[in-house]
Structure 1
Amino acid sequence: MRLAPLDIYNKEFSRAFSGYHRGEVDSFLEEVARDYEALTRENVELRQQVEEMGKRLADYARLEESIRKAMVLAQSSADEARANARRESELIIQEARQEAARIQEQAHALVRQEEERGAKLREQRERFVLEFTALLRSHLAALENGTREDGESP
């Protein structure tokens, strides 16, 4: 059983002949009891402080774990965001290439179309020139024939 300060205050010694001086013993016991009481209070306070520090340490450990998890989550989110951005940029590039290929194909088709149109126009021009030349020749021939016929008759 643990000794309490009150046990020291209330301790009674039996009397013996030529024993210790009672006043000195009582005075010393009182001093020991006061010191013991102070040490007991200090011990209680220190235990409370240790308990409080233990709680704070546990709180800090939980906080540290929360921060660690948040950092892991932030890193994971950043990695995922980078991966998404990379995928999105690759998709944009792919779509841009497809659009460029489509525009290029349209341009080639338009060039072919215009070349065909130009060829048809050249053909029409040549045909027109040939037909017009033939018409002019026939009119010239008719004029010449008409002039000859007019010259013979009067």
Structure 2
Amino acid sequence: MSFGTEMENKDFKSTFSGYSKVEVDQFIAKMMVEFNSLSRENNNLKKDNESNQEKINYYMTLEKTMQNSMEIAQKTLKFSQNQAEKAKAHADKEADHIILKAKEKAKAILDHTNEKNELLKNEYDKYYNEFETFKIRVANFIEVQKNVFSTSPEDLELSPLDLTSFEEYVLKNIADSSEEVDDDELTLPELFDDEIDHNEDAQEHDDNLVKG
């Protein structure tokens, strides 16, 4: 039984010198009205408090969820930044490696080209010098021939039919006219055969270089 119901149903004993029953009943009725009003207000406040507590719990849960989401977002952002930095560092490293390899390859190609050009230049200089030497030898030979044909057999001190002595005379004059001729004994055909073979080898070497 609630206190309000007890007050409403309470019976007091009557005494000779007691309070007026009517006044007491009126006062109790007034108190009951006030009490019931306060009780209703208290119940409403309890309901409001419960509702507010539910809202507080909801917002507290929401706040906690948001905090967790913020922490997850921060961790995700930090992880993404780390991954981006790693990816950038890896890309920079790969780019540097590719550039270095490209430079090394370009240098190797350039060195090989320069070396090949130097070899070709040396070969050209060699053949050019040999050709110049050959021209000198031919010019000397022609000059000797002119001298020979302008000299009488008596001046040559040999018979017109003595071809061996004639060749020896020509070779001697060529040797005297050019220091490029070897001291080995050569006949006139051998002298020109040697020059022809040498120039054929040079031409074959040039053809191989062009094909290569």
Matching residue of 2:59: 60
Deviation track 1:41-80 (CA, whole Å, cap 9, x = no partner) reads 0111111122112211211221121111111111111111
The 2-side partners of 1:8 and 1:25 are apart by 12
1:16 aligned counterpart, secondary structure: coil
Look up the match of 2:119. 120
Find the counterpart in structure 1 of residue 14 from structure 2. 15
Q: AA paired with 2:93?
A: Q
Q: Which amino acid aligns with 2:18?
A: G
Counterpart of 1:26 in structure 2 is 25
CA distance in 2, matches of 1:84, 1:151: 98
State TM-score, norm by structure 1: 0.85
The alpha-carbon deviation at position 30 of structure 1 amounts to 1.1
Deviation at 1:83, TM superposition (A): 1.2
Q: Between Structure 1 and Structure 2, how many residues are aligned?
A: 152
Query: How big is the shift at 1:103?
Result: 1.4
Three-state SS of the structure 1 residue aligned to 2:15 is: coil
> Aligned partner of 2:80: which letter?
A
Secondary structure at the residue paired with 1:17?
A: coil
* Matched residue, 2:2: 2
Residue of structure 1 in register with 2:89 after alignment: 90
Deviation at 1:121, TM superposition (A): 1.7
Q: How does 1:126-145 map to 2 (within 5 A)?
A: 126-145=125-144
In structure 2, C-alpha distance between the alignment counterparts of 1:99 and 1:150, rounded to whole Å: 74
Distance 2:24 2:64 in 1: 58
Larger Rg: 2
Deviation of the 1:18 alpha carbon: 4.0
Amino acid at match of 2:45: L
Equivalent residue for 1:104?
A: 103
The whole-number CA distance in structure 2 between the counterparts of 1:102 and 1:60 is 61
When normalised by structure 2's length, the TM-score is 0.64
The RMSD of aligned alpha carbons is: 2.0
Q: CA deviation at 1:152?
A: 4.6
Question: What residue is the counterpart of 1:42 in the other structure?
Answer: 41
* Separation in structure 2 between the aligned mates of residue 72 and residue 152 of structure 1, nearest angstrom: 118
Unmatched segments (≥5 aa) in structure 2: 153-212
Deviation at 1:132, TM superposition (A): 1.4
Distance in 2 separating the partners of 1:92 and 1:60: 46
Identity across the alignment (%): 24
Q: Look up the SS of the partner of 1:13 in the other structure.
A: coil
Amino acid in structure 1 at the alignment position of 2:81: R
Deviates more, 1:133-142 or 1:58-67: 133-142
Q: How far is the alpha carbon of 1:9 from its aligned partner?
A: 3.4
- Structure-2 separation of matches of 1:44 and 1:136: 134
Distance in 1, matches of 2:47 and 2:114, equals 98
